[in-house]
Amino acid sequence: MEKNIVLLPGDGIGPEVVGQAVRVLEAAASAAGASLNFTERLLGGCSIDRFGTAMTDETLADCQKADAVLLGAVGGPKWDDPQAKVRPEQGLLGLRKGLSVFANLRPVRVHPALVSASPLKPERLAGVDLIVVRELTGGLYFGQPKGRQMVDGHEQAVDTLVYTDEEIRRVVRLAFRFAQQRRKKVTSVDKANVLESSRLWRKVAVEVAAEFPDVALEHMLVDTASMRLVSSPAAIDVLVTENMFGDILTDEASVLAGSMGMLPSASLGEGGAGLYEPIHGSAPDIAGKGIANPLGTILSTALLLRYSLNLPEAAARIEAAVDRVISDGLRTVDLGGSLSSKQMTDEVLARLN
């Protein structure tokens, strides 16, 4: 089996963690009898510097033809001007839209050996194993009209929150399918007491729930959900929500695992190339030092193997190797240890083999 993977290392620590993760991906895929062809392209700030745009048409075309895309991180102080017409994040948003990946999956599992790394009390972390399913291509980030104008002598900014019933249905339905394979509970997060889009979201969630009689559905306002994520996270199985709420809640959920460097993500659509990336940013303060935690990116390659290449056993081997590394007390700097990115990856490979 031969598969084509596009690598988008991006900015900051992105090239470092992607480079290490590819070592693990190649080893796991090879052991499963798969041959991977890698193509590297620019995305984000590095693409702006080279081409004047955060993503070229050629890069998007390559990603659309690939079996999967592995991304590092985009952005950094060099391009951090909110007034700039071209920003690194435009490449990421355009890539998601161009690949039609409408659902972002962020699994959050607290390893027993890392409980002390989280700011939460240990008793609140017991049994935490949840997935956040975030709608990725609709809502405020993409709604039109959008922009600024002068009204009665004052500058006015407009962002439009738009969802169709089908956009909601497809991501909620995916959340229910995941719940069927887990603890059979979906928490749908909205702001139905205020927003008309959330009232539609809640209506559609009820309709989808009727298709899955074996899965329980609960509705939760986003402000309540933000509290529950830190007060009783173990009660959540699959949480599904719209784009901006999901953007915020997934970053909040990352503190449960002790470090953003630990968490992977997968962005999926109806077939086509999936997009895989760690949830952390470009971390420009440590870029080039070789100390970034590669585990979030390595675990993202496990999701790539599972969802895009249909190699669940190879994915499970990577996840088990990472578990053993953590259980054996090995740590990068963000977790209070001293291992470099390469040394941590070497340890994962030793346990993978």
Catalytic site residues? 141, 191, 223, 247, 251
What is the DSSP-derived secondary structure letter of residue 78?
A: G
Nearest to 8 by CA among 96, 91, 87, 72: 72
CB atoms within 10 A of CB 64: 15
Phi-psi region of 194 (alpha: psi -120 to 50; beta: other; left: phi over 0): alpha
How does DSSP assign 79-93, residue by residue?
G--TT-SS-HHHHHH
* 297 in Cβ contact with 17 (< 8 Å): yes
Q: What is the torsion angle, in degrees rounded to the nearest 10, for the CA atoms of residue 270, residue 275, residue 278 and residue 280?
A: -100
Q: How far is CA 328 from CA 130, 187, 234, in A?
A: 24, 34, 25
- What phi, psi does 10 have (nearest 5°)? 80, -140
Q: Which of 73, 72, 62 is nearest to 39 (CA)?
A: 62
| Vertex 278 angle, CA 68 and 244, to 5° | 95
| Dihedral sign from CA coordinates of 331, 335, 338, 344 | positive
CA–CA dist 16, 12 (Å, integer): 8
Q: Residue 84: which region, alpha, beta or left (left: phi > 0; alpha: psi -120 to 50)? A: beta
DSSP state of 329: T
Long-range contacts of 90-93 (CB under 8 A, 24+ apart): 90/54, 90/55, 91/43, 91/44, 91/47, 91/53, 91/54, 91/55, 92/43, 92/44, 92/54, 93/141, 93/142
